[in-house]
Amino acid sequence: MKIVEMVMPPMGESIMECTVLHLLAKAGDKVSIDDSILEVATDKVDTEVPCPFSGVLAEWLVKESEVVPIGSPVARIEVEDNVNAEAVQPNNPPANGQPDIKINNVPEAIDVEATAALLEKDYEEALSKKAEPVLEYAANSPESNIFYSPLVLSIARQEHISPTELATIPGTGAENRVTKNDIFSFLDNRNKQVEPALPVATSLNGSNEIIEMDRMRKMISQRMIESRRISAHVTSFIETDMTPVVQWREHTKAEYRKKTGDSITFTPILIEAVVKAIKDYPMINISVDGDKIIKKKDINIGMAVALPDGNLIVPVIHRADQYDLPGLARKVNDLAKRARENKLKADDLAGGTYTVSNIGAFANLMGTPIIVQPQVAIMAFGAIKKKPAVIETPQGDLLGIRSLMFISHSYDHRVVDGSLGGLFLKRVNDYLENFDTHRTIL
């Protein structure tokens, strides 16, 4: 038997560290390949980490609530002598977020010593660089030579933490750097110190309950406020005749459930219409970087999902234009199910270029959702209601009962003018009103 180290695997695009939430196994427990042995949290998702070996968990190298860099050792596992640890340990993550696998006995055309020297030089230069100022007026402060991550700087700006205060926060990250958890702990303690100064009668009178925000709610709050600050939100509305879609779904859903064991909801139909409209108006599928507009080639649709605890999460259908309607239905059901079971991976939440929210699921008629940064638009679909409506025919106008739905389109007026925002909304409307009721999904 021999001891091998398990390292923290890649968690998705741009994720450099994660927080250990729970250790799911104890020292001395038998473990198998792909057994979930710890649960971690990143800025994007909580997820379970599988074990890459079969053997006995000899020792944990991390503790709960500890912030752990990607690629660092987290546990020692006792395995059979013939197990090749290097063959299953993840290397640096490629662009798609999936770990590479080292293959032994294959010569690498790389000068290892030269590469190591370059990496060490880059690392030393990064440590010696002056950090960007926490606040605009702090660029020349004596504290500004300390390195802080962009996330920490963003939180500091939003919470109005002065450079002097930031410099006093003890860091628990690598090289004693301040992590997001350190800054959240500082804010919690600062708030607790302020609260006693308030008269007890005005804050607690026995009739109110104080509920601490959980980590995800704090994250959502931070991102929503930041989005309102960044983007110039404008919202347009349209009322869409969903009668053809409703009639087709009523005719199809029983057979679909019988053959697939799953439901066909309105969401994949709505997403299909949005994808078609993005192809017609690709300048909706953009993001903003300073004074530059980045036009995205891939159409990655985020879909807002309400979680059982009341929080919200937005998994992404990557390259949604490559799915037909049956494929979209399967993808929507899969992501929604895994979101509610807390089984999403970090990559499931990364790379969205446009987001939709089906607020009609809560019987809401319309809404004005907040844009998911760095996207520039978001669409909300309201409840479908039967209403009397005028029906235009070659023989004249008739009064009939139609299934109508409000659609709202919120967009960033910095880069999306009213004409583009309105035309895009109208095109989604047209694809839904002209839905082919003779199409099949099985």
Q: Which residues are catalytic?
A: 413, 417
The CA-atom distances, in angstroms, between 64 and each of 44, 172, 180 are 19, 13, 16
Beta bridge partners of 378: 355, 410
Contact residues for 323 (Cβ-Cβ < 8 A; gap 6+): 317, 331
Q: How far apart, in whole angstroms, are the C-alpha atoms of residue 135 and residue 130?
A: 14
Q: How far apart, in whole angstroms, are the C-alpha atoms of residue 79 and residue 120?
A: 33
Q: Which residue has the tokens 């104890």?
A: 26
Residue (of 346, 366, 347) closest to 410 by Cα position: 366
Q: How far apart, in whole angstroms, are the C-alpha atoms of residue 364 and residue 380?
A: 10
Cis-peptide, bond into residue 374, ω within 30° of zero: yes
Dihedral class, residue 206 (left if φ above 0, else alpha if ψ from -120 to 50, else beta): left
Query: Cβ-count burial of 303 within 10 angstroms (0-12 exposed, 13-18 middle, 19+ buried)?
Result: buried
Contact residues for 290 (Cβ-Cβ < 8 A; gap 6+): none
Q: Using N-to-C axis directions, what is the helix angle for 150-158 and 180-194, rounded to 10°?
A: 20
CB 302 within 8 A of CB 315: yes
